[in-house]
Amino acid sequence: MTHMARSWPRRSLLAAILGIAVGCAEPASPLASQRVATAAPPAAPTTLLRARARWVPVPWAELPGWSDDRTRELWPALLAGCAKPADGWAQVCTLARAWQPADDAQAREFLQRTLQPYRVESLDGQAAGLATGYFEPLLAASRLPRGAQQIALLRPPADLSTRKPWWTRAQLDTVAAARASVRGSEIAFVADPLDALLVQVQGSGRLRLTEPDGRERMLRLSYAGHNDQVYKSVGRWLIEQGELRGDEASWQAIRDWARRFPERVNELVWSNPRVVFFREEPLPDESIGPRGAQGVPLTPLRSVAVDPLAVPYGTVLWLDTTEPLLATQPLRRVVMAQDTGSAISGAVRIDYFWGWGTQAEQQAGRMKQPLRVWALWPR
Q: What residues does each domain of the chain span? A: 136-282
- Spell out the residues 6+ positions from residue 41 whose beta carbon is closer than 8 angstroms to its own: none
Q: What's the pLDDT at 326?
A: 86
CA distance 360 to 328: 19
CATH fold for the domain made of 136-282: Ribosomal Protein L25; Chain P (2.40.240)
Nearest CA among 96, 103, 85 for reference residue 16: 96
Q: Is 278:259 a contact under the CB 8 Å cutoff?
A: no
Per-residue pLDDT of the chain (379 residues; tens, 9 = 90+): 445 444 433 322 212 212 222 233 333 344 443 443 444 566 789 999 999 999 999 999 999 999 999 999 999 999 999 999 999 999 999 999 999 999 999 999 999 999 999 999 999 999 999 999 999 999 999 999 999 999 999 999 999 999 889 999 999 999 999 999 999 999 999 999 999 999 999 889 999 999 999 999 999 999 999 999 999 999 999 999 999 998 787 888 999 999 999 999 999 999 999 999 999 999 999 999 999 999 999 999 999 999 999 999 999 999 999 999 888 899 999 999 999 987 899 999 999 999 998 899 989 988 999 999 999 999 9
Beta strands in the chain (DSSP E): 48-49, 54-57, 115-121, 129-136, 138-142, 151-154, 186-190, 204-210, 216-226, 276-282, 303-305, 316-322, 330-339, 349-356, 368-378
Nearest CA among 289, 17, 243, 260 for reference residue 136: 289
Q: What's the pLDDT at 122?
A: 98
3-class SS shares of the chain: helix, strand, coil, % to 5: 30, 25, 45
Nearest CA among 214, 198, 321, 329 for reference residue 265: 198
CA distance 63 to 100: 24
Q: What's the pLDDT at 41?
A: 61
Q: What's the pLDDT at 94?
A: 97
Question: Is the torsion defined by CA of 312, 224, 74, 62 positive or negative?
Answer: positive
- Got the DSSP string for 4-34? -S-------------PPPTTSSPPPPHHHHH
Preceding omega of 165 cis (within 30 degrees of 0) = yes
Rounded to two decimals, the pTM is 0.82
Q: What's the pLDDT at 42?
A: 65
